């Protein structure tokens, strides 16, 4: 059985205005993981992702590059206790 994990992620660089949130939502849903993504006022994007360890690791790997048009310069990943609170992955505003 897969281990469940939860991470809080901050992505820096050219990550707003390049469909980062929409692409992140689509990828997370295709992986079957829960959580959310939103733009921050400081130009960064933040995410919370929860799910099977292997699937969450794939999402983190994607965040290191982002969608076409993005230029990720840094990513901060912090593990948090798994809560299982999400049924889906959503864009927050």
* 73 phi and psi angles, rounded to 5 deg: -105, -20
Are 23 and 30 in contact by the 8 Å Cβ rule? The answer is no
In this structure, how many other beta carbons lie within 10 angstroms of the beta carbon of residue 13?
17
Name the residues annotated as catalytic. 21, 39
């Amino acid at each position: 059985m897969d281990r469940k994990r939860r991470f809080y992620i901050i992505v820096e660089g050219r990550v707003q205005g390049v469909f980062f949130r929409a692409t992140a939502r689509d990828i997370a849903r295709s992986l079957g993981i829960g959580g959310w993504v939103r733009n921050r006022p400081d130009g960064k994007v933040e995410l919370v992702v929860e799910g099977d360890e292997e699937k969450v690791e794939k999402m983190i790997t994607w965040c290191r590059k982002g969608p076409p048009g993005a230029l990720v310069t840094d990513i901060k990943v912090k593990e948090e206790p798994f809560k299982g609170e999400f049924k889906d992955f959503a864009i927050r505003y």
